[in-house]
Structures are given as structure tokens and as C-alpha cells.
């Protein structure tokens, strides 16, 4: 690649990202997952759009697997352990027994109604059995559902990728008498070893990051995210479930109580968005829209079997021991969103040259798009009709999108070193320019709101709210006191610290 070609690639890539962000903004306002916007960008760039040629299934599969790992790390770092801990048992059963039941029911429907071979029927069932983490995270976190349901759906979507990958790989080879046994053995190994690696990397990473003092706060998000990638790669190298390992590691690190967790989550969200854009745009490029017309009918039939029969049956069977209320089961059945995972899994039989796999890929693509358009916008009305969300319910405040931008405000994080002259200075002595204010002090792991007479101690962390206009003055004032003590500036108020 020449330097000029590199510039063109970067230019096109930047334009695609900006266009994807703008499109995501439009679709999110009507309650649709952003995956539809990114897929539309890919379709527009593809063969029937602007004419970009992209037909390498192996490259698309590699992009998909890597992007899914990043998305799961993002989801794990943002998952509240207190939310999913009470539903871990239910999520585990839904992600294993529920997947098996869904595969069998969907495969039976495909075999009876579509007339496909047993192998293709099982592949179709396995490919579409998994709920999608990206779709679930993006839709449910904007929907004020009860914690017991939101936590269960998030945990299920994070756990069920591994079993579906195993089943897809098992059914990609010709079916024989030993295939079910091999699948069971492989499932047990991959889940067990993947979970062990994920837990080990997570606990070791949390311990190391807690004791490690890095020279820049910007290194903490990078180190944390890299731990998730290490777990994913290590489990994959051991032929175990890298997805499960990455998700478990991220959950542990995301709930480890670090002081930099907000920066870590913001970094992870940015990486997750990049992964989603790259994943869905590449999948959109891989599809030829003119070939989709012939598979609309079978995709709709299979989707109805999945939505109205397979998913509800899998939910009912899996949750029988847990006495889950009927209305919760109805919403769990309707909220089984599909997205990137089924489309990525559909590339596995294509790469393996399974007969009929190209048509299978197109069927899955149409099914995902069609039923995302049906399920996502209706999820809130269905939840409201079931009495699981009130008309005036609110959702958890997202700090990054809260009025800081609207007010043109900044939140400054100040760490008081043992040598700083800020030690023993009382809050009122800071004399910060209006409208800056110290909103919180974190001392020895305990956060509290200071009053004007609160003294600052070594290793305190101060959260200072200010506006962009006066932020430079606030930083100069804090620096001056840190260097010369509270008397800094008394004789020369205009002196810059």
C-alpha cells in the first residue's frame, strides 16, 4: 500500500465512522438498535450500492469474532454485579438448556416447513438460537425494566454465545452418530476451561491493577481492556470459549471498585462502538441485496417459529425450577433480540463450504433485520402492557450524557500527592473562581460531600465541577496552591500559578 492509498483508506474509514454515528443517532430516536444503521451503511457501500467489492467470508468471520469479543468486554465492564448475581442460575440455564431447546424447536420448524436437510435445519437452529449482546445492551439499557429482568437478559446474552458457537461448529461437519456426544463433550470442556481462564485472569488483573501505580491515568483503561483481550485469546488458544472468558474477566474488573472505573467504562464504550461499526458495516458489505429477495418468505417463516414457538418454549422449560412469574416469562420471550451473533455464526458454514450455506446466510440476515424491526420498537409497549414498566418510569442517569455538555461544564479529578501544598488546606481557602465548586472528596475509599471547613488530606481525590470558560483559571489556582500553599495569590490576585 502506497502512502496515497493509506490516506484514502483512512479518509474513507473516517467518513464511514461519521456516517455510521449520524445514522445511529437517527435510528436510536425511534427506539431501534443501532445495528440497523450500521448494516444500512454497509449495504449502501456494497455491490448494489456504491460498488465496493467485499466477498471474503473468512475476513468477515475474523472481523466478527474479534468485534464480538470487544463488545462482550464492553458489556462486562458496564455490567453491575449486584444486578446479575441474583439471576446467575437462571441465566446459566437459559444460556445452556434454553439454547438446546431453541435449537431443536427451530430446527424442527425449518425441516418441516422449509424442507431443508437435517444438517441445514440444525445449523439454522443453532445459528439463530443466541440472543445478541450488542442488541440487548443497546436496547435494554435505554428501557426502565425491573432489575430482575434486565439482569437476566444481560447475563443470558453474555453467556449464550459460547454454547451456540460450539453447536454451530458441531453441526458444520456431516451429521453422524457421534456428533451429539462430541458436542456435549466439547460444550463441557469449552465452558469449563473458558470460565476458569476468565475468572483467573479477572481476579489476577484486579489484584494487579489495585496494587499497581501507573504513571498516567490514561493507562488504566488500556490495561483493563487488555486483560479482557488476554482472557479471550488465552481461552481461544486452549480451544476453550474465548467469549465466556472475556465476559467473565470484564465483569470482575468492572466491579473491582477501582477509582478509574468511569474512565475505564468510557474507554470500553468507545471501543465497543468502533467494534460494532466495523462488524455491522463489514457484514452489510458481505451481503448482496439483490440475492435477498428470494429468501424473504423462508426467513419470515423461520423467524415466526423462533419468536412465537422456540423462544417461548425455551424460556418456559428453562425457568420451570425457578418459579418465574408468567408475565416475566412473556417479556423474556419477546426480548430475545437477535443481531450480530447470528450473522457472524452464519459465516462459519459458508467458510466450511457446507452445501446450501450461502442461502442460509441470506436467510439469517433477512431474519435478523426483519425481526429487529418488529421486536425492538414494540419492547417498551409490551413491557408496559404487562405492567413491568410504568408510563412515567425513568432510567438510570448516564453521567457521560447528562447535562455536563448542555451546561458547557467539566468535571475535574484532582489527586492530592503527599508533597502537595494542598495538604491541610480547607475548602474555603481554595477560593476557586465562580462557578467552580468541590462537589465530592474521596478519602481512603470513602466518598463524602465536603463543607467549607473540610481540610484536604494527602491522597485525597477531589471532584471539582466547573465550566469550560473558567476551567483554565481553576487549574491555575489549584496548581498555585499545590506549589505555594493557601497564601498563593494573596499579594498579587492576578498572578498566574
The model's pTM: 0.70
Residue 413: strand pairing partners = 463
Reported as a single tens digit per residue, the pLDDT across 218-236 is 788 888 999 999 999 999 9
Reported as a single tens digit per residue, the pLDDT across 79-91 is 778 778 888 889 8
- pLDDT at res. 232: 93
Distance CA(224)–CA(269), nearest Å, equals: 13
In 406-469, the DSSP E strands lie at 409-415, 437-443, 446-448, 461-467
- pLDDT at res. 473: 87
Say which residues have a Cβ less than 8 Å from residue 378's Cβ, sequence separation at least 6. Answer: 334
Is the pLDDT at 396 greater than 70? The verdict is no
Reported as a single tens digit per residue, the pLDDT across 351-367 is 888 888 888 889 998 99
Say which residues have a Cβ less than 8 Å from residue 127's Cβ, sequence separation at least 6. Answer: 164, 168, 342, 345, 346, 360, 364
Neighbour-count burial of 168, counting CB atoms closer than 10 A to its CB (0-12 exposed, 13-18 middle, 19+ buried): buried
Distance CA(490)–CA(304), nearest Å, equals: 75
Distance CA(234)–CA(16), nearest Å, equals: 32
Do residues 129 and 157 lie in contact, with contact meaning Cβ atoms separated by under 8 Å?
A: no
Distance CA(360)–CA(448), nearest Å, equals: 57
Is the pLDDT at 200 greater than 90? The verdict is yes
- pLDDT at res. 315: 93
Q: Residue 114 half-sphere exposure, CB side, CA atoms within 13 Å? A: 30
Do residues 249 and 206 lie in contact, with contact meaning Cβ atoms separated by under 8 Å?
A: no
Distance CA(287)–CA(279), nearest Å, equals: 13
- pLDDT at res. 493: 43
Say which residues have a Cβ less than 8 Å from residue 485's Cβ, sequence separation at least 6. Answer: 421, 425
Is the pLDDT at 405 greater than 60? The verdict is no
Residue-wise burial string across 281-292, b where 16 or more C-beta atoms lie within 10 A, e elsewhere: bbbbbbbeeeeb
Reported as a single tens digit per residue, the pLDDT across 238-287 is 988 888 899 899 999 988 866 577 778 888 888 888 888 888 888 888 88
Farthest-apart Cα atoms in the chain, separation = 90
User: Cα dist. 203→72, 197, 212, 228, 432 in Å?
Assistant: 18, 10, 14, 11, 41
Do residues 82 and 153 lie in contact, with contact meaning Cβ atoms separated by under 8 Å?
A: no
447 three-state secondary structure = strand
Query: Please, which pLDDT band fits residue 308 given cuts at 50, 70 and 90?
Result: very high
Q: Which domains are present in the chain?
A: 3-385 (1.20.1530.20), 403-484 (3.30.70.1450)
Cβ count within 10 A of residue 264: 23
Helix ranges (DSSP H) in 238-287: 242-254, 261-286
Q: Would you state the cell numbers that stand for residue 461, as one nine-digit string?
A: 481525590
329 three-state secondary structure = helix
Chain mean pLDDT for the chain: 82
- pLDDT at res. 309: 93
Distance CA(71)–CA(177), nearest Å, equals: 36
Query: Please, which pLDDT band fits residue 395 given cuts at 50, 70 and 90?
Result: very low
DSSP letter for 71, please: H
Do residues 245 and 194 lie in contact, with contact meaning Cβ atoms separated by under 8 Å?
A: yes
Which has the closest alpha carbon to 34: 60, 84, 71, 9? 71
Is the pLDDT at 439 greater than 70? The verdict is yes
Q: Would you state the cell numbers that stand for residue 377, as one nine-digit string?
A: 420498537
Residue-wise burial string across 466-476, b where 16 or more C-beta atoms lie within 10 A, e elsewhere: bbeebbeebbb
Is the pLDDT at 398 greater than 60? The verdict is no
Q: Which residue has the cell 418465574?
A: 324
Do residues 449 and 479 lie in contact, with contact meaning Cβ atoms separated by under 8 Å?
A: no
Average pLDDT over residues 324-337: 89
Reported as a single tens digit per residue, the pLDDT across 18-65 is 888 888 777 766 666 677 788 888 888 877 677 777 777 788 888 888
Q: Would you state the cell numbers that stand for residue 287, as one nine-digit string?
A: 451481503
Do residues 451 and 475 lie in contact, with contact meaning Cβ atoms separated by under 8 Å?
A: no
- pLDDT at res. 402: 47
- pLDDT at res. 9: 82
- pLDDT at res. 497: 40
Amino acid at each position: 500500500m502506497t502512502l496515497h492509498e493509506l490516506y484514502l483508506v483512512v479518509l474513507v474509514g473516517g467518513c464511514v465512522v461519521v456516517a455510521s454515528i449520524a445514522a445511529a443517532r437517527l435510528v436510536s430516536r425511534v427506539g431501534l438498535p443501532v445495528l440497523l444503521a450500521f448494516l444500512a451503511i454497509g449495504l449502501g457501500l456494497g455491490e448494489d450500492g456504491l460498488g465496493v467489492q467485499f466477498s471474503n467470508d473468512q475476513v468477515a468471520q475474523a472481523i466478527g469474532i474479534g468485534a464480538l469479543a470487544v463488545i462482550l468486554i464492553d458489556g462486562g465492564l458496564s455490567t453491575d454485579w449486584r444486578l446479575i448475581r441474583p439471576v446467575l442460575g437462571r441465566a446459566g440455564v437459559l444460556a445452556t438448556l434454553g439454547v438446546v431447546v431453541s435449537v431443536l424447536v427451530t430446527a424442527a420448524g425449518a425441516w418441516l416447513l422449509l424442507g431443508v436437510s437435517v444438517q441445514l435445519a440444525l445449523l439454522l437452529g443453532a445459528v439463530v438460537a443466541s440472543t445478541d449482546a450488542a442488541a440487548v445492551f443497546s436496547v435494554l439499557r435505554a428501557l426502565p425494566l425491573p432489575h430482575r429482568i434486565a439482569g437476566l437478559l444481560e447475563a443470558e446474552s453474555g453467556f449464550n454465545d459460547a454454547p451456540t458457537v460450539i453447536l454451530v461448529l458441531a453441526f458444520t461437519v456431516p451429521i453422524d452418530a457421534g456428533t451429539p456426544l462430541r458436542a456435549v463433550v466439547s460444550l463441557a470442556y469449552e465452558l469449563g476451561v473458558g470460565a476458569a481462564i476468565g475468572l483467573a485472569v479477572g481476579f489476577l488483573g484486579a489484584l494487579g491493577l489495585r496494587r499497581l501505580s501507573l504513571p498516567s491515568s490514561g493507562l488504566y483503561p488500556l490495561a483493563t481492556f487488555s486483560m479482557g483481550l488476554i482472557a479471550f485469546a488465552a481461552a481461544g488458544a486452549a480451544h476453550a470459549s474465548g467469549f465466556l472468558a472475556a465476559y467473565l474477566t470484564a465483569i470482575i474488573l468492572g466491579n473491582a471498585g477501582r477509582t478509574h472505573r468511569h474512565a475505564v467504562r468510557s474507554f470500553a464504550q468507545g471501543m465497543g462502538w468502533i467494534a460494532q461499526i466495523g462488524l455491522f458495516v463489514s457484514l452489510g458489505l458481505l451481503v448482496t441485496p439483490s440475492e435477498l429477495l428470494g429468501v424473504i418468505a423462508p426467513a419470515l417463516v423461520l423467524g415466526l417459529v423462533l419468536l412465537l414457538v422456540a423462544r417461548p418454549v425455551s424460556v418456559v422449560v428453562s425457568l420451570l425450577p425457578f418459579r418465574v412469574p408468567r408475565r416475566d416469562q412473556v417479556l423474556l420471550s419477546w426480548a430475545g433480540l437477535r443481531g450480530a451473533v447470528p450473522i457472524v455464526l452464519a459465516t462459519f458454514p459458508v467458510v466450511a463450504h457446507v452445501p446450501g450455506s450461502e442461502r442460509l446466510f441470506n436467510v439469517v440476515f433477512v431474519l435478523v433485520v426483519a425481526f429487529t424491526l418488529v421486536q425492538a420498537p414494540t419492547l417498551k409497549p409490551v413491557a408496559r402492557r404487562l405492567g413491568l414498566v410504568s408510563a412515567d418510569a425513568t432510567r438510570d442517569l448516564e453521567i457521560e450524557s447528562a447535562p455536563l455538555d448542555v451546561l458547557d461544564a467539566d468535571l475535574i479529578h484532582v489527586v492530592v500527592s503527599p508533597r502537595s501544598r494542598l495538604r491541610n488546606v480547607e475548602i474555603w481557602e481554595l477560593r476557586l473562581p465562580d462557578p467552580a465548586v468541590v462537589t465530592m472528596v474521596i478519602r481512603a475509599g470513602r466518598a463524602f460531600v465536603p463543607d467549607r471547613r473540610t481540610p484536604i488530606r494527602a491522597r485525597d481525590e477531589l471532584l471539582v465541577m466547573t465550566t469550560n470558560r473558567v476551567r483554565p483559571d481553576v487549574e491555575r489556582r489549584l496548581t498555585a496552591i499545590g506549589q505555594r500553599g493557601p497564601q498563593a495569590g494573596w499579594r498579587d490576585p492576578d498572578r498566574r500559578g
